Structure 1
Amino acid sequence: MRQTITALTVAALIALTGCSSDEQSDDNGASGDERGGGEASVQQFASKVAGVKHDIDDWITDWEEATCSSIAVDQGAADCHAYAVAGGYTAESAYLGLNGLTSEQSTNYLGEPPEEIAALYEETVETAKAASDAGEAFGEVDCDSDDGCLGEVHRLASTMKDLQTKLTEWSPYL
């Protein structure tokens, strides 16, 4: 029964929060699905980062407003467990979206970031990867019977806050 409630809660959260759209426009009116080639503008990268930042900020706000913690999840709080699951998906989406900006195989492809933001972009992708990895590790833990639940939820929440901090460094460009 608990798994059914958790699954329904996760489905509801995903339906309500959704994912950031790949169709955001930059200030020049170019939509995000136009394939880049070579080097994209700072503003094109910033517009994509803004969507990811919004999703991460929303997840952290929801997590904190629900007063969730690794202890709450470990003790069986279904709502917090659902938020943690959603956090894993949010982190994975953030990583895939950001990493895809420089991957020619991605529909998000823009090209190489301008030198002005290249280091920040790489650091942001690395931080998003850490959060995505934490979400994946949490997804592999059975919180009903596994002693590792507490640590994995803590790791997920910590890496999501790290990602939020890194995304805040994009503020001058947003």
Structure 2
Amino acid sequence: MSVELSWADVVAPGISSQGQPAVSEEWAFLVEADAAGFIEAISSLKDEPIAGGAYVVILNGAQCESGRDLFNEFSRKLNFPAYFGANWAAFDECLNDFVILNGRGMGSEFGDREGIHARMLLLAIVNADRILRNGTLAEWKAFLASLQRASTGANLSEITGKRELASLRVIFHCDTNGYSGLVRKMNSSNVNFRTK
């Protein structure tokens, strides 16, 4: 089963500040398709222009079956800084810091690099039904909570001051065999999501 995606499916990018959603509180999308078709659709999406630009990262849920594996995959693909502590608090902090723009681009908040100049971060997770397969429900919920906070700026406080944020959208992919299980996991975590 193949799939076609456009930026209209994902929501046009915007900027959010101090915990205000950029365009929509919908940050999570579920796509049922074969893996090759999904990767092809994401590759086509990368080539499609979008106002403000988008940084598209493909992650593999099969490389995220435990918490440690998930930290390694995200750290490698998003180039987390050397001080990343490979625990849930550090994951939450680095993911949230990654989406801060402040005129310097995504990732510049780490202080060790030039930022990526795009207004949207799209995380496309192939085989998402395998994420934390060997983990606990608490880890799954911590993972989704970190993504949700990064998508809304909910971690920002009055102490941090006003921050310009990239819009974060996450597409969770799985094939027909894993789809109903992934929907159940998402529903059990009270995450609002759309399907394609």
Q: Same fold (TM over 0.5)?
A: no
TM-score for the superposition, normalised by structure 1 = 0.31
Give the TM-score normalised by structure 2: 0.28
Higher strand share: 2
More helix by share: 1
Q: Which structure has more RCO (C-alpha within 8 Å, separation ≥ 6)? A: 2
